[in-house]
């Protein structure tokens, strides 16, 4: 038996996609993700595929872009520290 795709278990399954890919504010979408059993899988999917639009795993596009930017800065700082320590 094959494990179900995480999208089949998502709390948002069957919801209007405009909630997650709105023109304008996406403030309601993170609330719709609260308590979703596959929220982490959804966010991991967006991260893995670098999806920069819409709401995934309770994070808006702005949330993800900020988190990605911070991760790049931390990685860059770590590389600089390693280079100066060598």
- 27 — pLDDT class (breaks 50, 70, 90): low
pLDDT tens, position by position, 45-58: 999 999 988 899 99
One-character DSSP codes across 21-84: S-SS--THHHHHHTT-TTHHHHHHHHHHTT--SS-BTTB-HHHHHHHHHHHHHHHHHHHHHHHH
The pTM score is: 0.76
**Domain residues of the chain, as ranges?**
6-85
The tens digit of pLDDT for each residue in 53-86 reads 889 999 988 889 999 999 999 999 988 888 888 7
């Amino acid at each position: 038996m094959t494990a179900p795709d995480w999208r089949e278990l998502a709390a948002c399954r069957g919801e209007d996609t405009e909630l997650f890919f709105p023109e304008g504010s996406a403030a309601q979408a993170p609330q719709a993700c609260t308590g979703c059993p596959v929220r982490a899988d959804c966010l991991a999917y967006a991260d893995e595929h670098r999806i920069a639009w819409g709401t995934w795993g309770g994070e808006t596009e702005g949330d993800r872009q900020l988190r990605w930017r911070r991760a790049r800065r931390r990685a860059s700082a770590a590389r600089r520290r390693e280079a100066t320590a060598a």
